[in-house]
């Protein structure tokens, strides 16, 4: 660490600046009911004044524990058992408790993931924001209020004089996160720790919040530790990055350097597992690289490199030698690092492709309009929910317009991606399509049959055609049923075969999703997220459906596990000729999976078209804004974008705007937008009076050929 | 973090999923039993209950006393006098034999009333929760209305109208103690009905009947059983209250609450053996059921959260 003091910070500080915060060999243990988890093992990090350090890792890597150890907020049973936390040169572990409290309270600020649970619902915003001032600076009530208004204004809160008297539930998620940031900044800290500050937010809001943190960092001249699982968030914002795995820092380097030429094999694999990389690699939809297995159990003693059991380049040496971080600008803890890339050309990481999967034969044909009889055809679908007011008689206060006239078709073997932010009605469309709810109006045709016309037995048989895949498979499985009973249930309900035939079918299903027979005797709580998602997929496949509606099927998974599940879904599609409706808020995942994409905004489809056209040449301003807001791992890509930025919040679906529903936030909106634009176009349709670009001739040609 | 860890062979195919660990496969009931047995207090409670029940029901077979005829020649004998280990009461009944007899009444009424209340409440709450809508509203208003009347007052009123006997006591206590379980089960049914696994089953074409049979009942049964143990403890206390207020079973039948009430008159006469034994017996049996209930709650819930 001796060269650390002379390192030039990438934020442009002169040499020989003392680090603001330095962790030296930090160990943190958490005592659980069974044994102790060694959450952090010799973590060394440093943060220069005014610098943004990104800490990235999958769940269980120790990134949050690092943040909590610095702030002294470890969960019950947790304690820092070794090492030093040097803040401005003084070790927080050896200072008197009172001084530590002041340092952490005044000199550091922390922003948590969920702005709803980190704010006290019974306190007014102003009182809450000014609480640190009242505690640490003992300022009076009136002054505290003034300073609360001032700080709220600086975090970009509209009408701060009014907001101070509001309660947290009266604000939206993005606004609440602004309040949380204001609270962290009110004492003008030197260091801001943001632990997944945008994970609970939509992408467009995420962008606003990240930009705010960036601006505030410069304005306050503070350092930021940005903890996240999202490599894209880090790539656009951080000066330096530390990659964590299983309680250790495995690689640290300047952001651009790390993304351009990662050295540690874990970092390399993680970058390859991103759908974004696969798309860029080959243009066509290649197979994702997926890291096999699961991270190690940190309650057991571990020797050697902790990534060794999952690494492609592992040797016996890796398993026995304890690898420490190398020294220098670009530190890594790997015995067989990726060869350093030549410095000059700024190319993207060019990892060895494992096996470019053969392109599905039908892709080009089905990229245009779907073939003759669509598996699923939705026409003018409307779903309204009654909004109840309070009170004894529960008078209906209005209607929530969840889905308002959505039409699309899904052809056999095709993947239709449905994207949009939370509350746009995409999940409702999915639930309507599988028959879990009945539409208020409109038509849903499965294989050319209107499901509203079905009764009794026919309706039950209809469920064989289409199955739902859930985001959280654990919640979608009865915790008291063993896996064999869970997989047999659809067969029992549909009265398929006898006991022997069902057992044989279940065995086939397990083979298809790549699980061993041993899982049959186990209960859902014994599995990890990726395994559960496999079991969930097996259950969806049991009835041999033609269509699977996946509602955020990989959103709860880590990148490496997500790649496993996405690959599996594609393999099965190829083998079984399945059609998917793939619902997700994550545009890069949908871009990777889908043949065609529909973009939803507030209950309406605003754009439908071939995936590549929608993502590369968006026609609706909302789609463009969505694309621009998605964080990318290409460094500086976020900054280079000139596209559409939208401000403000999603309007309420109780009284949606008339005409084009996006017009209240649209930079291009004019008077004519008060009339509703129709979804127009041949292959690449858009519902906008002022589309950003005309339909590409290629797309309309493809549409013509298919028709 | 403590779930399956697996040994992935180096060089395994990238998509090879993690295999289940070699940990022994155990059924949920078996795991529950293990958790229950880990709870020392629950085992103590179970032992205590078995002991008290054995003394009350098997004791009289070995320790014969006359609990029907009074013997005015042997009243208020101190423990140990004339072969009465716990002495005699004001009309000459042997105190130890009477404790056994009274315990029988208390345990029978407590168990029966507790089970009756649980059964009634579960049924009522489950129907309200599953059906929902106006049916739910109407059924729960009935519960609210009955809950708003102090139960002790109702017990006294009823006991004054009808002649208390063991079956009658069971009915009276059961008829009012079901309100708690009804609310509890209704809440449980409401949440279970909207669980994703019930929706997944509906997505497979399953019916409401199957949802209740395969998903809702098995998941609610834990709550119901745990609550039943507390209901039994409460019912034993209610018997004691009622008897203490003079509304219990008429002599020569006995129960612990009534014995306590009788003993109260002797507080200042120094006849402690009429006061402490029934009091201690009531405390012990209620404690035993509460310990068992706590243990069952752990057994039903904790094992599912160990993820």
Encode B242-291 in three state secondary structure. Answer: HHHCCCCCCCCCCCHHHHHHHHHCCHHHCCHHHCHHHHHHHHHHHHHHHH
With respect to residue A356, please indicate whether it lies within any of the assigned structural domains. no
Res. A336 pLDDT band, cuts 50 70 90:
confident
A354 pLDDT higher than 50: no
Pairing type for strands A441-446 and A376-388 reads antiparallel
Q: Say if residues A683 and A698 touch (Cβ distance below 8 Å).
A: no
In a domain, A40, yes or no: yes
Q: Tell me the pLDDT tens digit for each residue of B179-214.
A: 888 998 888 888 888 888 888 888 888 887 888 878
User: What number is the ipTM of this complex?
Assistant: 0.73
Task: State the pTM of this model.
Answer: 0.77
Q: What is the pLDDT of residues A662-696, one digit of tens each?
A: 888 888 888 888 888 888 877 888 888 888 888 76
Domain ranges of chain B: 39-59+89-301
Q: Which residues of A touch B4 (CB under 8 A)?
A: 294, 526-528, 531
Q: Are A307 and A411 contained in the same domain?
A: no
Gap between the Cα atoms of B285 and B229, Å rounded: 11
Whether A191 and A54 share a structural domain: yes
Residue A459 within any structural domain of the chain: yes
CATH of the domain at A47: 3.40.50.300
Which parts of chain B have pLDDT scores under 70?
1-28, 301-307
In contact, A456 and A538? CB cutoff 8 Å: no
To the nearest whole Å, the CA of A33 is away from the closest chain B CA by 10
- Residues 6 or more apart whose CB falls under 8 angstroms from that of A39 comprise A28, A29, A30, A62, A65, A78, A247, A298
Chain A residues with beta carbon closer than 8 angstroms to that of B17: 513-515, 530-531, 534, 564
Burial profile A468-491: b = 16 or more Cβ within 10 angstroms, e = fewer: bbbbbbbbbbbbbbbbbebbbbbb
Q: For A294, which of B6, B202, B214 is closest by C-beta distance?
A: B6
Structural domain range at position A596: 363-387+397-481+527-651+691-699
Q: How many alpha carbons lie under 13 Å from residue A181 in its C-beta half-sphere? A: 29
**Residues 150-209, chain B, touching A (beta carbon < 8 A):** 195-197, 199-206
Q: Are A513 and A531 in contact (CB under 8 A)?
A: no
Question: Which own/partner contact pairs does A138-147 have at CB distance under 8 Å and 24+ positions apart?
Answer: A147/A186
- Shortest distance between the Cα of B136 and any Cα of chain A, in A, equals 14
- Given a contact cutoff of 8 angstroms between Cβ atoms, the answer to whether A329 and A254 are in contact is yes
Going from the C-alpha of A15 to that of each of A250, A297, A357, A675, the distances in angstroms are 25, 41, 49, 60
CB atoms within 10 A of CB A162: 11
- Do A263 and A403 reside in the same domain of the chain? no
Domain contains A664: no
User: Residue A342: pLDDT above 70?
Assistant: no
Are A97 and A192 contained in the same domain?
yes
Q: Tell me if B15 and A300 make a contact (CB, 8 A cut-off).
A: no
Q: What is the least distance, in Å, from the CA of B16 to any CA of chain A?
A: 6
Name every residue whose Cβ is closer than 8 Å to that of residue B26 and which is 6 or more positions away in sequence.
Answer: B34
pLDDT surpassing 70 at residue A560: yes
Residues A193, A295: one domain?
yes
For the stretch A378-421, pLDDT in tens is 998 998 887 664 444 555 567 788 888 899 999 998 999 999 88
In whole numbers, what is the pLDDT of chain A averaged over residues? 82
In chain B, whose CA is at the least distance from the CA of A30? B1
Q: Count interface pairs A-B at CB distance under 8 A.
A: 138
- Higher pLDDT: B24 or A328? It is A328
Based on the structure, what is the number of domains in chain A? 2
Q: Which of A12-16, A209-213, A311-315, B125-129 has the lowest mean pLDDT?
A: A12-16
Of A101, A33, A31, A26, residue with least CA distance to A67:
A26
> Residue B12 is nearest to which of A33, A292, A464, comparing CB atoms?
A292
Q: Classify residue A474: in a domain, yes or no.
A: yes
| A575 min Cα distance to partner chain B (Å) | 16
DSSP letter string, B101-167: HHHHHHHHHHHHHHHHHHHHHHHHHHHHHHH-HHHHHHHHHHHHHHHTS-HHHHHHHHHHHSPP-HH
Which pLDDT belongs to residue A349? Answer: 44
CATH number of B39-59+89-301: 1.10.3720.10
Give a yes or no: residue A265 inside a domain: yes
What is the C-alpha to C-alpha distance for residues A379 and A408, in angstroms, rounded to an integer? 7
């Amino acid at each position: 660490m001796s060269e650390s003091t002379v390192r030039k910070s990438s934020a442009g500080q002169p040499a020989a600046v003392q680090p603001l915060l330095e962790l030296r060999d930090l160990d943190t243990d958490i005592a659980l009911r069974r044994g102790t988890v060694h959450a952090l093992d010799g973590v060394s990090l440093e943060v220069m004044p005014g610098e943004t350090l990104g800490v990235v890792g999958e769940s269980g890597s120790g990134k949050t524990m690092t943040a909590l150890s610095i702030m002294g907020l470890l969960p019950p049973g947790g304690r820092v058992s070794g090492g030093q936390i040097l803040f401005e040169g003084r070790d927080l572990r050896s200072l008197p408790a009172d001084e530590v409290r002041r340092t952490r309270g005044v000199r550091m600020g922390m922003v948590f993931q969920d702005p709803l649970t980190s704010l006290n619902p019974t306190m007014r915003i102003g009182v809450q924001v000014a609480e640190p001032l009242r505690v640490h600076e003992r300022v009076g009530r009136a002054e505290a209020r003034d300073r609360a208004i001032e700080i709220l204004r600086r975090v970009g809160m509209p009408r701060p004089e009014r907001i101070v008297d509001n309660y947290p539930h009266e604000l939206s998620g993005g606004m609440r996160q602004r309040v949380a940031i204001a609270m962290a900044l009110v004492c003008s800290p030197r260091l801001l720790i943001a632990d997944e500050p945008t994970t609970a937010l939509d992408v467009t809001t995420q962008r606003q919040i990240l930009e705010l943190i960036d601006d505030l960092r410069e304005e306050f001249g503070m350092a930021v530790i940005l903890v996240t699982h999202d490599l894209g968030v880090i790539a656009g914002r951080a000066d330096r990055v530390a990659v964590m795995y299983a309680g250790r820092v495995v690689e640290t380097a300047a952001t651009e350097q790390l993304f351009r030429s990662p050295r540690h094999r874990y970092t390399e694999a993680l970058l390859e597992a991103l759908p974004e990389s696969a798309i860029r690699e080959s243009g066509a939809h290649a197979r994702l690289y997926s890291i096999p297995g699961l991270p190690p159990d940190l309650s057991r003693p571990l020797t050697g490199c902790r990534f060794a059991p999952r690494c492609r380049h592992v040797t016996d040496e890796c398993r026995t030698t304890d690898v420490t971080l190398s020294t220098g600008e670009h530190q890594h803890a790997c015995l067989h690092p990726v060869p350093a890339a030549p410095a000059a050309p700024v190319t993207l990481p060019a990892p060895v492709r494992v096996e470019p999967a053969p392109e599905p034969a039908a892709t080009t044909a089905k990229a245009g309009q779907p073939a003759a009889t669509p598996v699923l055809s939705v026409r003018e679908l409307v779903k309204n929910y009654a909004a109840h007011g309070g009170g004894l008689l529960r008078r209906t206060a209005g209607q929530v317009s969840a889905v308002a006239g959505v039409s699309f078709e899904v052809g056999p073997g095709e993947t239709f991606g449905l994207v949009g932010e939370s509350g746009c009605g995409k999940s409702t469309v999915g639930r309507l399509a599988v028959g879990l709810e009945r539409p208020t109006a409109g038509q849903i045709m499965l294989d050319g049959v209107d499901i509203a016309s079905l009764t009794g037995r026919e309706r039950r048989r209809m469920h064989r055609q289409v199955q739902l895949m859930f985001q959280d498979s654990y919640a979608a499985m009865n915790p008291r049923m063993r896996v064999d009973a869970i997989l047999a249930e659809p067969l029992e309900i549909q009265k398929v075969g006898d006991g022997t035939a069902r057992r044989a079918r279940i065995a086939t299903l397990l083979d298809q999703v790549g699980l061993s027979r041993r899982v049959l005797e186990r209960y859902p709580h014994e599995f990890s997220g990726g395994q559960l998602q496999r079991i969930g997929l097996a259950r969806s496949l049991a009835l041999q459906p033609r269509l699977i509606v996946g509602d955020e099927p990989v959103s709860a998974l880590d990148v490496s596990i997500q790649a496993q599940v996405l690959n599996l879904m594609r393999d099965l599609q190829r083998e079984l000729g399945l059609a998917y409706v793939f619902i997700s808020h994550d545009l890069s995942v949908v871009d990777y999976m889908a043949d065609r994409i529909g973009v939803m905004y507030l209950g309406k489809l605003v754009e439908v078209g071939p995936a590549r056209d929608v993502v590369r040449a968006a026609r609706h301003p909302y789609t463009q804004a969505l694309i621009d807001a998605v964080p990318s791992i290409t460094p500086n890509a976020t900054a280079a974008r000139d596209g559409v930025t939208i401000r403000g919040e999603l309007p309420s679906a109780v009284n949606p705007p008339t005409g084009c529903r996006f017009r209240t936030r649209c930079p291009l909106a004019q008077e004519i937008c008060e009339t509703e634009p129709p979804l127009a176009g041949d292959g690449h349709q858009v519902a906008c009076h002022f589309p950003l670009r005309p339909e590409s001739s290629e797309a309309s040609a493809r549409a013509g050929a298919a028709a | 973090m403590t779930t399956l860890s697996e040994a992935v062979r180096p060089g395994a195919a990238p998509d090879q999923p993690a295999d289940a660990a070699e940990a022994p496969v155990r059924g949920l009931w078996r795991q529950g039993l293990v958790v229950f047995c880990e709870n020392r207090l629950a085992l103590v409670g179970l032992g205590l209950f078995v002991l008290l029940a054995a003394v009350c029901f098997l004791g009289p077979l070995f320790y014969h006393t006359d609990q029907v005829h009074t013997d005015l020649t042997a009243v208020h004998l101190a423990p140990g006098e004339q072969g009465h280990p716990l002495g005699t009461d004001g009309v000459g009944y042997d105190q130890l034999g009477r404790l056994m007899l009274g315990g029988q009444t208390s345990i029978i009424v407590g168990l029966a009333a507790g089970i009756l209340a649980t059964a009634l409440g579960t049924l009522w709450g489950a129907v309200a929760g599953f059906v929902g809508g106006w049916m739910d509203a109407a059924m729960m208003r009935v519960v609210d209305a009955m809950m708003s009347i102090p139960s002790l007052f109702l017990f006294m009123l009823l006991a004054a109208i009808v002649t208390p006997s063991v079956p009658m006591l069971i009915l009276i206590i059961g008829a009012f103690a079901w309100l708690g379980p009804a609310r509890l089960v209704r809440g449980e049914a409401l949440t279970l009905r909207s669980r994703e696994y019930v929706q997944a089953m509906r997505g497979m074409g399953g019916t409401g009947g199957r949802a209740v049979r395969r998903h809702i009942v098995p998941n609610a049964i834990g709550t119901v059983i745990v609550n039943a143990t507390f209901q039994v403890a409460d019912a034993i206390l209610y018997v004691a209250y009622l008897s203490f207020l003079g509304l219990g079973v008429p002599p020569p039948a006995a129960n612990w609450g009534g014995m306590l009430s009788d003993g109260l008159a002797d507080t200042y006469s120094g006849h402690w053996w009429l006061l402490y034994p029934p009091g201690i017996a009531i405390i012990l049996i209620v404690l035993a059921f509460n310990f068992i209930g706590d243990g069952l709650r752990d057994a039903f819930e904790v094992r599912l959260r160990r993820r």
